Amino acid sequence: MKKTATRLADGRELLYYDARDDVVREAVDRRPLAPVATASEIRRDPLLGDAVVIASHRQDRTYLPPADACPLCPSREGRASEIPDGDYDVVVFENRFPSLAGGAGRCEVVCFTSDHDASFADLDDERAALVLDVWTDRTADLAERPGVEQVFCFENRGREIGVTLGHPHGQIYAYPFATPRTELMLRSLAAHRERTGGRNLFDDVLAEERADGRRIVIDGEHWTAYVPYAAHWPYEVHLHPRRRVPDLRGLDDAARAEFPRVYLELLRRFDRLFGPDEPPTPYVAAWHQAPFHAVNRGEFALHLELFTIRRTSGKLKFLAGSESGMSVFINDVPPETAAERLREVATP
């Protein structure tokens, strides 16, 4: 992997990641861009204790532009974009409309391919492996920045999820705090360790799922994908490396080599869930990594959580009163049924 750093016209950092070492990146961003102006603030809810980001400048972010005005496509004659070069493998750049800014974290955009009409599931194994290397490199880089506590790599796909740009891309948030969801996991880890005389909760859950088998979707040599026993979403899969590591930097070569096959198969199954007449399945794919300074970070297990808000053909799962008001999810699809369906739509 070759990494080339440059700057956009307004000073934001942009990084090209190329599979070939002989690629030269010399294009210059000549757009007349004004400096990025942000108004990001982190506030603490005094009752719940969690963080809320106030980011009023994001009201003006680009919203579903036509394909010929996509800011994530390569630049071409007469139309400059966020990527100055005429083609690319994978690109990462600082978000022009970041949720976290001003010394309180960082937000990056990750473009998986220059093909506007593709999706992550369309990538080949080599490109998916490159994206994994990019996620890992960004985690390592951001971990060294002052004030960063946790790195979150994720992809939102589909208008139903709330995506504002159709080009295949993800994002990376470098939080200056451990997120509320992760704090809950860390507390559950500590309670389980105390209750069981030192056992690891992630290890036990994975072992129980593999022993039960009913909710297993893919069981590879180095990765296991399963629908959790208490899945929140209609179709939700957790993907774990079999060897527990706290973040992406800990994956060994064997796990890295197997990841593209397993992950691409999962995404392709999601697109086949509801039949050929349905539009592409909207989903969130989220890497959960340990906070860098957590007391029990070595007990945390890196994993990816993939879920869709589509509950059946033509119908979405909306967060209604119980979910939005009390955080008590009501799932219409039994996890065992979801796992069976995900096995049925395996690649022939």
- The total of structural domains in the chain comes to 2
170 plus 201 within the same structural domain: no
Catalytic site residues? 169
Burial 201-212, CB ≥16 within 10 A → b, else e: bbeebbeebeee
Q: Provide the pairing of β-strand 315-316 with 235-241.
A: unpaired
Q: In this predicted structure, what is the pLDDT of residue 290?
A: 98
State which of 157, 175, 193 marks the end of a domain: 175
Residues 157 and 264 in one domain: no
Average pLDDT over the chain, rounded to an integer: 96
Same domain for 160 and 35? yes
Task: Please indicate, yes or no, whether residues 129 and 49 belong to a single structural domain of this protein.
Answer: yes
- Kindly state the average pLDDT of the residues 269-288: 95
Report strand pairing: 106-111 vs 90-94: antiparallel
Measure the CA–CA gap between 287 and 235, rounded to whole angstroms: 17
User: Which one-letter DSSP state was computed for residue 47?
Assistant: T
Domain of residue 134, residue span: 2-175
261 shares a domain with 160? no
The verdict on 169 and 202 lying in the same domain is no
- Answer yes or no: do 248 and 111 share one domain: no
Ramachandran category for residue 275: left, alpha or beta (phi over 0 → left; psi -120 to 50 → alpha): left
Note whether 232 and 278 are same-domain residues.
yes
Whether the predicted model's global pTM rises above the 0.85 cut? yes
Domain boundary among 175, 209, 231: 175
| 231 and 185 within one domain | yes
SS3 240: strand
| Domain CATH for 125 | 3.30.428.10
Q: Tell me, yes or no, whether 251 and 147 share the same domain.
A: no
Confidence at residue 17, expressed as pLDDT on a 0 to 100 scale: 98
Check pLDDT > 90 for residue 103: no
105 and 199 housed in the same domain:
no
**114 with 184, same domain?**
no
- Neighbour-count burial for 111-120, b at 16+ CB within 10 Å, e otherwise: bbbbeeeebb
Domain closes at, from 175, 191, 226: 175
Per-residue pLDDT of 46-75, as tens digits, reads 999 999 999 988 888 887 899 899 999 999
